[in-house]
Structure 1
Amino acid sequence: MNKIILLFSVLFLVNHSLKAQSEAVIDTLQGELEDIVVVGYEGNRSLMETPGAVSNIKAERISGFDESSIVYGLNAVPGVRIEQRAPGSYRVAIRGSSLRAPFGVRNVKIYWNDIPFTEPSGSTPLNLLDVINMQEAEIIKGPAGSIYGAGNGGAILFNSRQSSADRIGVGAMIGSYGTNRYTAFAEQQTDRANLRFNYSNQSSDGYREQLFLERQTAELSTRYQLNDKQILKTSFLYSDLYYGIPGGLTLQQYQDDPSQARPGNPFVLGSVEANASIDQQAFLAGISHDVEITERLSNLTTLYGNFSAFENPFNLDYKKDSRKSGGGRTRFYFDTDLGEVRTRFTFGGEYQAANYAARNYENTGGSTGALNFDDEIKIQSSLLFLNTEIDLPADFYLTAGLSYNRLTYNLNRLVTNLQDDVPGVAEKSFDPEFIPRVGLLKKFSEALSLHGSISNGFSPPTIEEFRTNEGSIALNLEAEQGTNYELGFRGSFPKVRFSYDVTGFLFKLSETIVQQPSDRNSTVVFENTGATDQYGLEAATSWRIVQNRDRFIESLDWNLSYSYHDFSFVDYRKEGEDYSGNELTGVAPHSLNSSWQLDTSTGIYVNLNYNFTDEIPLNDANTVYSEAYHLLQSRIGYRVGFFDSMNLDAYFGIDNLLDETYSLGNDLNAFGDRFYQPAAPRNWFGGLKVTVDL
């Protein structure tokens, strides 16, 4: 409570100290900051009035490079690091949240078209989505549990492309290492409804052995205006994904031949021999109903179902899962006036349930061998939340929220052939979590606002941590607990078309879930231990240097983002070693991303992107670091229109222009010192897109 009072006091003091300066700035500016509306904490309001670290990424930024991956667009957001150890394998870190993720996306809650895309276990199959399924992304950094539940890292809200006309389009791209990509879309709009169909087919042989990728996605999204007060939306997604897992290399293997896959030995299969890969087919169906009940009360409800088959031959075993999940999310919005103060109450809930038939086998040359164990897994996750937004006098905006969260795992081991293991039921009901958040923003003008917030968060173990590949069940694991303190400011200088967003934060994490080597084989198990202190500064700027439709250079944009992260372990002991004070594993202290976009009156355009990533500690002992790298990427294209209805975009690009030797993702605390997952050297791509207005 004292810290909350202190936060409010700081904002009120800054109000008086900056008032004169703000008025002086306003007198010298022309125009206003672009009014970017964000969902945020279910506020659906201007970014300038949202107290929190929120970033909005449009489609042209997500797909502004080669359109085959989300990595390049989202890594432009300060504090965010998307790793890609294989073309179909993502790992998402927001402010270091991937510490406990040896693979997959964890500790971040993800939604797609209002549908919970994160499974009730806390894992997210983000690789099932293609860039064509994303119109924009909204990233909430830091705990967002007061609205979205589990996930200390934050939340990402994806929305697919919406139809705006009667139009069809096709695209094709080829590139190094056998890369082929084909896309098609069709959209139609009527007075009351619109529809869009997206299709993508992408394949690649990959730079390394066992680095192939085959992915097809098909999406159908509709929006129908039932009447003046009701809107119905549907989203259907089918994804067929098959990609190889080359595995990590030791430093010597990395230096000798970075294109090789993980070799085998007399005890463990190599990645090629084991056919280490992921083969997954998934179908997702969701429906949303938006209704204005009264002039002050409205409701938005989403229901969904998800069905997938998952197969994962690995160096040590072979997994086969059949997964079914479903649930929904509803929220009521009530707008009222408390005296002269505008107030919005948002209250609602989310429920998810899953049922997995999960079998683990021996891997015999890439095929299923003897059965190790057979589990039936049931998961239930639920949350209730209440959020209040109050527009206070003098352009202060207050947000306060609270959620109640439950999670239960029920595992029935039907068959086991493991030593010292018996069939039976294991159930883990985690303690209920009450997660609060309070934020306050002062808006000095249309071009300057200051915000601060304090929020709690939690992150329970995923099913992959609760039930590990080597068969153990971690009934003693508890949820990580975190508290985030944040202060930031954002604004613009409209006269010169320059905007900025700067945030400083302190995140304190306890009950940290960390990896430990297994006694049974060379996989990992997990345990709660220690804590972290995470200090950070994140800044993003955008400058439209040139804006003139009457000249050869019609526009020139420069975007810059920078992250400083001073993250360290506190009171952390592992295997008899004391790592207290060490740098947090997997986090670069400094990272910078700079991009330039040039458009000319002839239709020629040029995109350049530069990324600097500092050295990264790869183990908790801080004895192994990845080298810092400079990544330069370029794309040049030509856009032209034909016959008043046809548009063509031809482009060519080069990735890793400086031919750096680097890893776009590393294996942390890797068994056998296999830390390195080499990325491709200099490579190229080129493509063509055609759209026709009907």
Structure 2
Amino acid sequence: MKHLSLPFFLFFLAVGLCQNSREKDSITILNEVVVIDTLTAKNSIGIIPSKIIGTKVFQNYSPVDLVNSINQVSGVYALSGALNTNRITIRGVGARTPFGTDKLRLYYNNIPVTNGTGFSTIEAFDLENLTSMEIIKGPKATGFGTNLGGAIVLNTKKIRNQPTRFSNNTTLGSYGLFKNSLGFVHSDENFHLSLQYGHMEIDGFRENNRFERDGILLNSNFKLSSKSEIGLLVNHIDYTAQIASSISQSAFDEDPTQAAFTWRSAQGFESNNYTLIGLSHTYKHSAKLRNTTSLFYTYLDHYEPRPFNILDEYTNGYGFRTLFSGALGTKRKNLKYTFGGELYKDEFTWGTFENLYEENNGNGSLQGDRLSDNKEFRRQFNGFATVAYPISPKFTAQMGININKTNYDFRDLFNTGALNKSAERNFKALFLPSLDITYVLGDDSELYANFSRGFSNPSLEETLTPDGIINPDIKQETGTNYEMGIRKTDGAFTIEAALYHMRINDLLVAERIGDDQFIGRNAGKTQHQGLDLDLSYRLSLSEKISATPFVSYTFSNHSFIDFVDGDEDFSGNQLTGVPKHRIVSGLQTNFGNGLYWNTTHQFVDKISLRDEETLFSDSFSVINTRLGYKTALFNELLLGIDFGINNVFNTKYAQSVLINANSFGGREPRYFYPGNDRNYYGSLKLSYTL
């Protein structure tokens, strides 16, 4: 199945040669640009390229697996160990992170939701509530933090002048899946309100794998005047997820449904209550000047019994973001500018306790004596500005700057005297420039180039020595990105291609020295270079029937330039955690009478699991398919029915991997998070308009 995408490549080569002879058609069907009010996001990035995926891409996947829609974007790879365990990497950045997503910035309706040490949890949101995701690869966007990985902006539904509508979508499927989403939308010229409630539960493919979530989303906007608008966003998610954890090669070969022995014995799980409240105000001073300012508060209560201890933590985060955007000059020579700032602060309180599950008569975790009690104060400020100027009708240049200042303050509330580990770390201010140029080749194509600098912060834990004391020698990762590409949309044919080269200095390496203890070191340099390619073509098979094949191809040639770990030199080796080749292809077919059929195929190359390149995961191909029908039963009532099959050919594969896994107590290292076997789902959606 590795070669299933080859016909698509040959097909695109053929249509690319003859597509000028075809009559142009509407591009809105093939291009996943959703027209919503994201002016704040677009003005933050100016002319730099980003990728927006919307409802037509989401329609390729199960409502439970919408994280997989990210994989349809070249250069971006989401590894999912479970519904509550996702690691998103962009061009290899973040691939060495043991758990979770870091080294990129995550925004929800332009509110930063990445925590004070740079970690993002996309599972804290019900992605079925989204209208689109905007993905910026690399540190190009000065207005979104210039993290080495880039930024992801999640956008919720916001449609003006729509009638009052109730909707309900119910999904049933394998592993005891039940998911229900209930929505209410009311909108007129001056007011918009959407309220969504969702519940999901699923037993899971593996042992100790049950997941249950409830969530509510309120999104409202009120137009105060022709110049002023205020918005309120409230998102709350409450979920409990059992943890099967990773398993060894032997366990994976024997029975991929089994949980790790210690996690099964402890009946390990995590419980999360997450709340985001955002208040925004937009003021249009004139046709050429606009400001949007947001105030926000986040709260996370996290409780996680693990075999080695029980973690109890809560986080209070708050901050603001303001963006001014405007233009100067004539319509022909219009200088566009943005400037603003973003402050995020959080207070993180956490402690650990003994887990006495071995003394609990097989009833799972039991909290014992306290082992630690800590508080962290984390602060990050980003100031940014861009200026874009059309040097000629075809040539535009944009310059940007981001200023970052990060501070950590760690308080040990458990130990006293000489054992106390309290410490503070102030990182030096970073000045990170960006230069973008675009050249219009014609009405339908454009060349662009980018030079940008970016950074990644270590987590506070990575700044500690093995004795738990702040290490003043730990530095932030910094890197320089060079990129050039082309974007072409001619009628039904679309191509986006980019070549990039980025070097990262002071590579942060998380070294595991215990079950729950990691330390960080700056261990060398990495080189990230490769090709991102996205192609699509819309075929009109008849007056009503259309078919859109697409391919996204990622070539990742990432390696260690200078990497010495202890007595071993890994310089020149392939970067761990990244497949060299990855292909996502598919076919979207619309039969014109409300019936559609979408099929996707993903090929993932082998992945190096150890820095010394002695062990690799197996490559794999997975095919998903979804058939749906939409119709109006009455003028006011719409009906939608979907049926889907994931992993059609029942491939046995690792959906996520853990690199450089260690062996404790003589046990085999645990590298693999098994993917689900063949599974099914069906959805029924009703929408009633008043």
Q: What TM-score do you get using the length of structure 1 for normalisation?
A: 0.90
AA aligned to 1:597 is Q
Verify: 1:139 aligned to 2:138, yes or no: no
Partner of 2:422: 425
AA aligned to 1:293 is H
- Distance (Å, rounded) in 2 between the aligned partners of 1:609 and 1:46: 33
User: Residue 237 of structure 1: which of 235, 238, 249 is its match?
Assistant: 235
Partner of 1:114: 110
Seen in structure 2, the aligned counterparts of structure 1 residues 624 and 275 have a Cα distance that, compared at 3 Å, is same
Seen in structure 2, the aligned counterparts of structure 1 residues 185 and 468 have a Cα distance that, compared at 3 Å, is farther
AA aligned to 2:277 is A
CA RMSD in angstroms, aligned pairs only: 2.5
Seen in structure 2, the aligned counterparts of structure 1 residues 421 and 257 have a Cα distance that, compared at 3 Å, is farther
Partner of 1:510: 505
Contact 1:636 1:651 in 2 (8 A): yes
Seen in structure 2, the aligned counterparts of structure 1 residues 654 and 26 have a Cα distance that, compared at 3 Å, is closer
Deviation track 1:27-73 (CA, whole Å, cap 9, x = no partner) reads 987468659579999673799x8333x11101231343111122221
AA aligned to 2:487 is R
Seen in structure 2, the aligned counterparts of structure 1 residues 473 and 150 have a Cα distance that, compared at 3 Å, is farther
Contact 2:66 2:128 in 1 (8 A): no
Seen in structure 2, the aligned counterparts of structure 1 residues 179 and 465 have a Cα distance that, compared at 3 Å, is farther
1:455-494 alignment to 2 at 5 Å? 455-466=452-463, 473-494=470-491
Other structure's SS at 1:617 match: coil
Partner of 1:656: 647
- Distance (Å, rounded) in 2 between the aligned partners of 1:523 and 1:657: 40
- Distance (Å, rounded) in 2 between the aligned partners of 1:60 and 1:315: 42
Partner of 1:68: 64
- Distance (Å, rounded) in 2 between the aligned partners of 1:32 and 1:43: 25
Deviation track 1:403-435 (CA, whole Å, cap 9, x = no partner) reads 111010101101039xx9722521011111001
Deviation track 1:567-589 (CA, whole Å, cap 9, x = no partner) reads 11011111311111110001111
Seen in structure 2, the aligned counterparts of structure 1 residues 395 and 336 have a Cα distance that, compared at 3 Å, is same
User: Residue 51 of structure 1: which of 24, 48, 52 is its match?
Assistant: 48
Give the paired residue count. Answer: 656
Seen in structure 2, the aligned counterparts of structure 1 residues 460 and 364 have a Cα distance that, compared at 3 Å, is same
The more displaced of 356-365 and 376-385 is 356-365
Partner of 1:541: 535
Partner of 1:609: 600
- Distance (Å, rounded) in 2 between the aligned partners of 1:463 and 1:251: 32
Deviation track 1:349-389 (CA, whole Å, cap 9, x = no partner) reads 00011112211222221132221211111111111111111
- Distance (Å, rounded) in 2 between the aligned partners of 1:488 and 1:303: 36
Verify: 1:451 aligned to 2:451, yes or no: no
Seen in structure 2, the aligned counterparts of structure 1 residues 282 and 517 have a Cα distance that, compared at 3 Å, is closer
Partner of 1:5: none
Uncovered stretches (5+) of structure 2, i.e. residues with no partner: 1-17, 358-364, 664-668
Partner of 1:437: 434
Partner of 1:189: 187
Contact 1:107 1:150 in 2 (8 A): no
Partner of 1:380: 379
Verify: 1:278 aligned to 2:274, yes or no: no
AA aligned to 2:504 is L
Aligned-pair CA distance for 1:605:
1.7
- Distance (Å, rounded) in 2 between the aligned partners of 1:285 and 1:46: 22
Verify: 1:597 aligned to 2:588, yes or no: yes
Verify: 1:644 aligned to 2:666, yes or no: no
User: Residue 211 of structure 2: which of 213, 218, 222 is its match?
Assistant: 213
Partner of 1:361: 353
AA aligned to 1:273 is S
Contact 1:132 1:198 in 2 (8 A): no
Contact 2:61 2:626 in 1 (8 A): yes
Partner of 1:524: 518
Contact 1:456 1:482 in 2 (8 A): yes
- Distance (Å, rounded) in 2 between the aligned partners of 1:631 and 1:606: 17
- Distance (Å, rounded) in 1 between the aligned partners of 2:454 and 2:618: 32
Contact 2:387 2:399 in 1 (8 A): yes
Deviation track 1:611-633 (CA, whole Å, cap 9, x = no partner) reads 00000111111111110001000
Aligned-pair CA distance for 1:659:
1.0
Contact 1:342 1:392 in 2 (8 A): no
Report the identity percentage: 26
Contact 2:421 2:469 in 1 (8 A): no
Seen in structure 2, the aligned counterparts of structure 1 residues 349 and 101 have a Cα distance that, compared at 3 Å, is same
Contact 1:222 1:235 in 2 (8 A): yes
Contact 1:39 1:45 in 2 (8 A): no
AA aligned to 2:373 is D
Uncovered stretches (5+) of structure 1, i.e. residues with no partner: 1-23, 264-269
Aligned-pair CA distance for 1:669:
1.1
Partner of 1:12: none
Verify: 1:152 aligned to 2:148, yes or no: yes
Contact 1:33 1:446 in 2 (8 A): no
Other structure's SS at 1:252 match: helix
Q: What TM-score do you get using the length of structure 2 for normalisation?
A: 0.90
- Distance (Å, rounded) in 2 between the aligned partners of 1:474 and 1:321: 24
- Distance (Å, rounded) in 2 between the aligned partners of 1:608 and 1:211: 27
AA aligned to 1:178 is G
Aligned-pair CA distance for 1:297:
2.1
Other structure's SS at 1:394 match: coil
Aligned-pair CA distance for 1:475:
4.5
Partner of 1:17: none
Partner of 1:347: 339
Seen in structure 2, the aligned counterparts of structure 1 residues 471 and 645 have a Cα distance that, compared at 3 Å, is farther
- Distance (Å, rounded) in 2 between the aligned partners of 1:637 and 1:29: 29
Partner of 1:500: 495
User: Residue 296 of structure 2: which of 304, 308, 325 is its match?
Assistant: 304
Seen in structure 2, the aligned counterparts of structure 1 residues 631 and 444 have a Cα distance that, compared at 3 Å, is same
- Distance (Å, rounded) in 2 between the aligned partners of 1:206 and 1:339: 57
Contact 2:400 2:434 in 1 (8 A): yes
- Distance (Å, rounded) in 2 between the aligned partners of 1:389 and 1:291: 22
- Distance (Å, rounded) in 2 between the aligned partners of 1:475 and 1:367: 38
Seen in structure 2, the aligned counterparts of structure 1 residues 156 and 421 have a Cα distance that, compared at 3 Å, is farther
Seen in structure 2, the aligned counterparts of structure 1 residues 523 and 660 have a Cα distance that, compared at 3 Å, is farther
- Distance (Å, rounded) in 2 between the aligned partners of 1:421 and 1:65: 55
- Distance (Å, rounded) in 2 between the aligned partners of 1:362 and 1:338: 68
Contact 1:197 1:218 in 2 (8 A): yes
Aligned-pair CA distance for 1:693:
1.2
1:253-264 alignment to 2 at 5 Å? 253-263=251-261
AA aligned to 1:563 is T
